[in-house]
Amino acid sequence: MSEEMERILRIEIPSCYVSTKDPEAWDDFEFANGWSNIGNVMYWQGSIDLSGYAMERKTFYPVTAFTQEAQSYVSFGGSGQSVFYLVSSIPTDINNFLTQIVWASAPGFTQPSTANVPQDDWTSLLFGQYEINLINSTLPALGICQPILTRQFGSLSPTAADKLYVTKVVFPAVIAGEVGDSLSIPSSRIVLPGTIKEEPKLEYMMRLKRSYELANQV
């Protein structure tokens, strides 16, 4: 077995500013920076390339994971937002994800049969984080939102995948049918410190096989 190498994986997620004249959906995307929307829900997807390690038959062992955000979320006329970060060894289907949230679930958890979405394997979700931000009631005119709750739910499982799929989703709080006039999402990043090393051949092949099976269930 080869020597362990410490590595810090990270991905940069751009900021986004959207506004609307329609309370049900954003309609001005001049500063979207690669973000997309489904109705009033904003989302961004990217990936972390591990193909170089995969070619050398090496496995990444995450030790921890966390997010960093450049500034605060700002919402004029709104009330706040829910934010999800996901890092998975398989692609995230945004429509399935939104269905999971409607049914008070999330990737990696048991899915209600009535949700009609596939059951995720928890080990494929290396990192998941959920946070709630609400408008600061002291200075509501500034639109600054502050976090009141943060929870993590990833597995931090080792992976032999050649790519990690990253998704960030922002749900504006809808009060009386309105999302507000505008939403500013700050630049952020996800950081995954860990180690890279070779596994015994049989363990590596079994892990690779499992990654392939999960990827083909999507």
Contact 44, 51 (CB under 8 A): no
pLDDT of residue 118: 80
pLDDT of residue 4: 82
pLDDT of residue 55: 79
Contact 26, 18 (CB under 8 A): yes
pLDDT of residue 155: 95
Query: Which residues touch 164 (CB under 8 Å, ≥6 apart)?
Result: 9, 47, 48, 50, 87, 88, 89, 126
> Length of the chain in residues, anyone?
218
Q: Are strands 188-198 and 182-185 parallel, antiparallel or unpaired?
A: unpaired
pLDDT of residue 216: 59
Distance CA 169, CA 173 (A): 13
**Which of these, 183, 197, 207, lies nearest to 2 by C-alpha position?**
197
pLDDT of residue 163: 93
pLDDT of residue 110: 87
pLDDT of residue 43: 97
pLDDT of residue 57: 81
DSSP structure class, residue 113: G
Report the DSSP beta bridge partners of residue 134.
80, 146
Residue 200 has a CB neighbour count (10 Å cut-off) of 9
Q: Which residues of the chain have pLDDT under 70?
A: 1-2, 23-24, 175-178, 201-202, 204-218
pLDDT of residue 211: 64
CB-count exposure of residue 167 (10 Å: 0-12, 13-18, 19+): buried
pTM recorded for the entire structure: 0.89
Residue 47 has a CB neighbour count (10 Å cut-off) of 14
pLDDT of residue 119: 76
Contact 111, 121 (CB under 8 A): no
| Strand, coil or helix: 120 | coil
**Which of these, 62, 118, 56, lies nearest to 90 by C-alpha position?**
118
